[in-house]
């Protein structure tokens, strides 16, 4: 009986020690994962995915979730505090900026990467041969003034493929959602066409003239637009260069400001960036940035439709409700990730096809903004 009691007492002493040791071991072997949510522009989709993949290889305790939805959607959910990092191609307008400020926190906006809007098409008769589009022809196709692919104006600037251009109606594919890609493209059309500027204008959404002619089709997001072009002959559309690369779609050579027909490449995009002095306002006054600054850049080799795409984050001040947008842990994780994006992430090995890194002075503006984020 005494032996049994001694064994029992021994077990009682041993079990708590084993249990405690287990807890300590567990705490050392696991740690909580921080989730960062980012939402908005699809213009930089493939670049964002590349950054996330590369960053998480060396930061396994951070999970970054990306949802597209377009620049308009990205701005709206950022305003509502439903995402940690918003993404928008065109700079935020002043009315939306005031909506951000009404929370009591300070929004910060700055560029993250350079991309290009391209014209892609599906003309079975010419396959992947390059289509040239002059400034006036491009605008008039989207205005609906040029109705057929074998229009004499198109044939004149494409003598190599003129005899293959079919007498088929041109179907124009555009975005159905509030889109930064649309804002960039329609702003460019407004710069090169007085008719477009006066009768259609620029914005994340516009009234497309071809819709009233029965030759307009809408797709959601850049992926939706590309899917329609791939499956529908005789279409033409605007999209981000990386989508055309990813889906192996042909892209047009566009007439630039100097009168040369230029295809979008790393070199021609860089030529456009280097031809202008980017004027980026303070991240606390992001609405003052001019979308037009890199569009239609001068230079023989400059591709004409080049633009920044932007990040939106909070300074993380105490809001009107006494709360903060980010916990201390999340604020630190966001700062670490965005610092990496603006430094290591701008190096060639971390860039997705179709994107060009920021000029150093522009990246520095972003880094200064990231350092403003408070960890409470």
Confidence of residue 31 (pLDDT cuts 50, 70, 90): low
What separation in angstroms does the CA of 369 have from each of 9, 76, 115, 128, 338?
Answer: 62, 21, 21, 43, 10
What's the confidence (pLDDT) of residue 276?
A: 87
d(CA 110, CA 88): 10
Selection from 276, 268, 254 nearest residue 301 by Cα: 268
Q: How far apart are CA 190 and CA 356, in angstroms?
A: 25
Domains and their CATH numbers in the chain: 34-115+276-289+306-370 (3.40.190.10), 117-274 (3.40.190.10)
Residue 148 carries which DSSP code?
B
pLDDT in tens, 271-289: 999 998 888 999 999 999 9
Give pTM, 2 decimals. Answer: 0.88
Q: Is the pLDDT of residue 102 over 60?
A: yes
Report the helix count and the strand count for the chain, using DSSP H and E.
14, 11
pLDDT band at 19, cuts 50/70/90? very low
- Residue 291: CB atoms within 10 A of its CB come to 17
């Amino acid at each position: 009986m005494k032996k049994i009691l001694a064994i029992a007492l021994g077990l009682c002493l041993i079990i708590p020690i084993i249990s405690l040791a287990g807890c300590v071991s567990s705490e050392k072997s696991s740690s909580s994962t921080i989730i960062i949510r980012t939402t908005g522009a699809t213009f930089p989709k493939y670049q964002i995915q590349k950054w996330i993949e590369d960053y998480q290889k060396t930061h396994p305790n951070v999970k970054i979730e990306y949802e597209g939805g377009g620049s308009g959607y990205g701005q709206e959910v950022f305003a509502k505090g439903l995402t940690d990092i918003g993404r928008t191609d065109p700079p935020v307008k002043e009315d939306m900026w005031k909506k951000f400020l009404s929370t009591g926190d300070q929004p910060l906006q700055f560029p993250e990467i350079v991309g290009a809007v391209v014209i892609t098409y599906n003309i079975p008769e010419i396959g992947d041969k390059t289509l040239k589009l002059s400034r006036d022809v491009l605008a008039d196709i989207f205005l609906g003034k040029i109705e057929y692919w074998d229009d004499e104006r198109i044939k004149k600037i494409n003598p190599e493929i003129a005899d293959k251009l079919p007498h088929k109606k041109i179907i124009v594919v555009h975005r159905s959602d509030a889109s930064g890609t649309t804002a960039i493209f329609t702003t460019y059309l407004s710069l090169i066409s007085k008719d477009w500027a006066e009768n259609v204008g620029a914005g994340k959404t516009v009234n497309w003239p071809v819709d009233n002619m029965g030759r307009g089709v809408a797709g959601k997001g850049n992926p939706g637009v590309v899917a329609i072009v791939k499956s529908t002959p005789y279409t033409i559309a605007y999209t981000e260069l990386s989508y055309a690369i990813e889906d192996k779609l042909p892209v047009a050579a566009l007439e630039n400001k100097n009168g040369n027909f230029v295809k979008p490449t790393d070199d021609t995009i860089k030529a456009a960036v280097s031809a202008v002095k980017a004027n980026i306002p303070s991240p606390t006054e992001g609405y003052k940035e001019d979308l037009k600054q890199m569009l239609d850049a001068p230079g023989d080799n400059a591709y004409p439709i080049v633009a920044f795409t932007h990040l939106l984050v909070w300074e993380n001040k105490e809001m009107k409700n006494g709360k903060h947008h980010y916990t201390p842990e999340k604020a630190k994780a966001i700062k670490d990730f965005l610092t990496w994006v603006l430094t290591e992430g701008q190096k060639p090995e971390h860039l997705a096809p179709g994107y060009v890194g920021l000029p150093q002075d522009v990246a520095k503006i972003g880094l200064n903004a990231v350092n403003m984020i408070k960890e409470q």
